[in-house]
Amino acid sequence: MKCLRRISSAVDRGLTNFYRSLGRLIARRPWLVIFICAVVTAACLVGFLRFEVEDDAEKLYTPQNAPSFKDKEYVDANYPSDSLSVKILSLDRAQSGGSVLTKEALLEHLRAYKLITSQVVTVKGKSYTWSDVCDRGSGNYTTCRVESILQLWKFNEATLLADPDVIQTVNQGKIVDWQGLPLSLNWVMGGVDRNATGAVTRAEVFQTVFYIRIIEDSATKLDGKGEDSVAFKWQERITEIAYDKWSSPVVAQYVSCDGAVGRESTKAINRDIGKLSIGYILIIIYTIIALWRNSWAYQKAHVALASFLAIGMGIGMDLGMLSGFGLKFNFVCQVLPFLLVGVGVDNTFVIISNYFDQDPDAPIEYRMGEALGLAGSSITVSCMTNVIAFAVGTYTSLEALLSFSVYASIGTLLVFIFQVTIFPAFLTLDARRELRTRLGVGCPGFGCVAPGCCAAEPVAEQLARGNNGWSSVTNIYKHHSAGPTIASSYSTQVTALGDPSTTSTTTTATAKPPPQPLTPIKRDGSGAMGSAPDVAVKVMIRPQSPSAQPQQEQEAVVPPRDFSTPAIVPCCGRRVFNPHDDQLSTRMVARWLPALSLNTYGKIIVVLLECVMLGFAIYGCTKVYMDFNFRELFVPQGNWLHKAFQVEDRYFGGEKVPVAVYTRTTRDGRDYFYYQDQLLRISEAFKNNKYIANVPAVSNWYVSYQTWLNSGSYALQLINGRAPNETVFNSWLQEWLLKDGRGFSDNVLIDTTTGRIVGSRIDGFTRDVVDGSWAVRCVDSTRAAVEAAAPDLDPIAFGFSYTFWDGFRTIAFSTVTNVIIAGAAVFLVTMILLADIVASLIVGTMVVLSDVGVFGFMHYANLQFNSVTCIVLVLAVGIAVDYSAHVMRAFLVSTGTRQERAHKALIEIGGAVWNGAVTTFLAVLPMATAEHYIFTTIFKMFAVLILLSIWHGIVLLPVLMSWIGPPSYRDMDQQGGGGKEAAAE
C-alpha cells in the first residue's frame, strides 16, 4: 500500500508538472502553437478526398462472423437475386372493414393495375416500359409475373364488366402462380369470409404483387440494386401512381415494398441531420452564457468560439485522417460530432474554471501554467478513460460499432490534444487582452491580441512579472479561505525574469503597498464560504511551500490586493465584479447541493433514492428482450410504408420473410436419384415446421416433378411411382424443366458436363416475425429440421433475413464482452492515472450503476436489445466515467476530513462538471424531434445516461467519498507516503 501511495503521489506530481510546463510554453509562444495546429489539421483534411459512406444495413448491423454469412456466400454464388416485389393493397374507401369483393372495387383495382403497367420510366437516358422490366421467371415465359385476383378476368376490363357474378367467379375460378402452380386465394385476398359450404362470401382487401426484374448494365455503369437502378426507379413510380396520386371514391390503396425501406430510411436520416444542427446552436448559446462574466476585462464569452474552433479542428482532423486511411463513415457516426463537441466543451469548462481560480495579477505564464497544470491532470483522466472505453468497441464484428468506435476514440484523443494546445493559446491571447483592459491601455474595446495592432506592448512588464504588487508569496488562489499558498516552483522563474527579490518573502517585482496583517480573503455575495457546511479549511490542490516558516507567519505579511473591476450590468446591488466569485453553476453544485446532500439526513435520502432507482433498473433489465425488425424500426412512424405494413400484418399474417431450403452436392458424391426419399422428407419437414407459413405455400420442385412423371407419358415406365434408374431420372428431369417445369429451372442446378443435379432450392415463407428471440429460434429450428431430414444432401436453411437473425446470438455475447472489457480497461486506466485502488473501485462502481440504469431504462422506453442499442451500451462506459473521474480526482488532491474533501471536490470541479453535462445533453436534445430510429434511440439512451452519470458523479459519489473515500495525495506527501488520514472523521 505504501508503494501504491508513493506511485499515487508521483503520478499526480508528474502530470501536474508536465501540464504546468506545457501551459507556460504555450503562453510564451501562442501564435506558433496556433500555426502548427492549423498546418497539421489542414494536412489531415486532405483525407476527405477519400471520404465514403457505408449504408449497407447488412454490413453495418450484422456481425460479419455470423454463421449465415457463409450460407449467404453460397446462395449469392448459385442463386443470385434477380427480382424484387411491390405489393398493391386495396381496401374499401372508409377502411372500416367493408367488403371489396364487388365489381366496382375490382374495376378500381384493375384501373390501378393498368395505370402501373402503362408507365414508362427513364433511367440514364434510356426508357423502360413495364414489359421491359417485369420478371418473367425462368425459361421462355412470355407473361409478366403478377399475382392477383384479377387473373380470374385475365386483367381485362371488358371481361370483368361482362361478369354477372364476381363472387361466383372467385369461387369457381382457379388462380395459378408464374410456375403454373395453384395460388391460394388467401394470398391475393385478405379478410375473407366463407359460408357453411366453404364458399367465399366477402373479402376486405385485395393484394396484387408485381415482380420487377433487376437490370444491370456494365456499359452504362447501371447498378441493378442501387437507388438509381431501374428496379428502384420503377418502385418509386408505382408508389407515386398507386399511393401518392391515387384517388378513388371506392377503394383506398397502399403500397408495400421492402426494397423501399432503405431509401425511406436514408431520406429520414437526411431530414433529421438538418434538425440535429440545432444542437450546435444550443451548445454555443449555453457555452457563451456559462462563460459570460459581468466585466469587460474578465469577459470570456467570446473565448467559447476558440473552444469550438479547437473542437472543430479535432473533428475535422479525425474524419479527414481516418477517411484517408480508408475507414468508411456510416449513419451511426452522424452523432459523433455531437458527442465530441460535448466532450470538448466539458474540457473547456474545466480549463476556464481553473484559469479563474488563479490570481488575476499573476504573470500570464504563471496563470496558464497553473491553470493547465490543474486542469490537464483532471481532463487527462477523463480523456484517457473515454479513449480506452471507445477503443474497446473495436473488439466487435459489428461494422457500425467498429467504425464508430475508431472514429470516437481517435476523435476524443484529437479533441483533447487541441483543447490542451490551441485553446490555451487563444486563452493566452485573451489573458493579454484582459490585463490591458484592466489597466486601460492598448486598443479600444476588447483590446488587441494580434502583433502589429499594438506594436509597442504597453504592459510588457506586467505581463511578464505580474501586476499590482504580485509575487509568488502574495499569490492569491481562489479556494484558499484562510490565505494564499506559495507556488514556490515559480519563484526561481520570476527571479530569472528580473524580480529584484532573491528570496521568496514579501519583496515583489513591482511596487506594492507596505505589508499589513492579513485577514482571511473574503468573497462577495454567493462566494461567502461560511454559508456552506464544513468548508472553513484550506483546499490544498498543489504542493505546499517547502519553506520551513510556519504558514501563519507567511500569511501575516501578505498584503491584500483588489483585482475587481466595474460591472457591465450592476446587479443585486453589486457594482463591481470579482473574478473569484462563484458562478451560478458553482453555487448550485458546490453550495446549494451539498447543503442538502452532505448532511446526515441528506446522505440517507440519497442512498435510499439510489436503491429505489437501482431496483427499478434491475427489474427493467430482466424485461429487456432482443428484436431488430429492420423494416419497422428504420422506417419513420407515419411513413406510407408503415400503413402498408399494418395492412399486411392485419390481413396477410404480418411480416412473412422469404426463406428456402438449399440442397447441395451429395456428401458421398452419388446422384440425387439415390436420395429421393430424403428429397421428399426434407420438403415435408420444411413445410410442417412451426415457423413456416402455410400461405404462400412451400414450393417444391421435386413434388411437382413427381406429379408430372406420374400423370404423363412416362407413368407406365415408373417403378413404385419413380424413375427406374439415375440416367432416365436426370434425362426426364431436364425434359420437364424445359417444358411444364420451366418455372423451376432456376431452382435446380445441373452440371452441364455430367447432367447430374448439384444443388436445388425449395422456397417458402416464415410466419409473422414476433421478435428477435423468435427469429433466433426460427433459424435454429429450420436448420435442425432440414439437416435431420436429409443429412446426405448437405442441406442448409437460409433467408436473407437470417444474417440479421443469426447475428442476434452473437450481438448479445459481443455486447456483454465489450462492456466487461471496457469496464476493466477503464478501471486499469483510472488505477494508473488516479493511482488508488479504492478510488478506482468507487469510480468503477459509479460506471456500473450508470450502465445498469441505462440498460434497465430500455424496458420503460420500449427499446429492445439490438445492434443499435448495443452500441450505446458499449459507449456508455466511456461517457459515464467522465463525470465521476473529475470529482474523484478533485477529492484526491484536497486535504482535510473526508466530509470536507467531498465538499471541496464539488467546489473545485462541480460547476465545470455540471456545465459539461448540460452541453452534452443539449448536443443530443434535438434528436428528440428526429424521425429515424437511430437518432430517437440514441437520444433516449444518452439522455438517461447523462442524467444518471451526473447523479452518480455529483450526488452519490460525494456521499460515498465522505464515508469511505481514500486518503489525499497531500496527506501522503506530508506523511512520507504513508499513514492514515490526519483529520478525524
Q: For residue 816, how far is the Cα from the chain centroid?
A: 17
Residues 6+ apart with CB under 8 A from 944: 853, 854, 857, 861
> CA–CA separation, 825 vs 828, rounded Å?
5
Which residue is listed with cell 428502384?
232
pLDDT one-digit tens code per residue, 115-170: 999 999 998 888 999 998 888 766 556 788 899 999 999 999 999 999 999 999 99
Query: Is the Cβ–Cβ distance between 971 and 895 less than 8 Å?
Result: yes
Return the domain boundaries, the chain: 2-48+291-440+587-613+808-974, 82-264, 658-798
Within 10 A of 933 (CB to CB), how many other CB atoms are there?
23
* Residues of the chain scoring pLDDT < 70: 1-2, 4-5, 8, 57-58, 63-64, 81-82, 137-141, 178-179, 216-227, 258-259, 442-459, 479-560, 572-573, 653-655, 970-985
pLDDT given for residue 908 in this prediction: 85
Which residue is listed with cell 484592466?
438
Q: Rounded to 5 degrees, what are φ and ψ at 498?
A: 120, 15
Alpha helices in 79-122 (DSSP H): 103-117
pLDDT given for residue 162 in this prediction: 93
pLDDT one-digit tens code per residue, 673-703: 999 999 999 999 999 999 998 878 888 899 9
The whole-model pTM stands at 0.74
- How does DSSP classify residue 668? T
> To 5 degrees, how large is the angle CA 431–CA 435–CA 436?
115
Give residue 7's identity as a one-letter amino acid code: I
pLDDT one-digit tens code per residue, 410-456: 999 999 999 999 999 999 999 998 888 888 876 544 444 444 444 44
Paired sense of beta strands 565-571 and 200-202, if any: unpaired
> CA–CA separation, 842 vs 289, rounded Å?
33
Query: Is the Cβ–Cβ distance between 565 and 298 less than 8 Å?
Result: yes
Which residue is listed with cell 463513415?
329
pLDDT given for residue 526 in this prediction: 32
pLDDT given for residue 263 in this prediction: 74
DSSP notation for 20-75: HHHHHHHHH-HHHHHHHHHHHHHHHHGGGGG--EE--HHHHHS-TT-THHHHHHHH
Which superfamily is assigned to 2-48+291-440+587-613+808-974 in CATH?
Answer: Multidrug efflux transporter AcrB transmembrane domain (1.20.1640.10)
pLDDT given for residue 179 in this prediction: 65
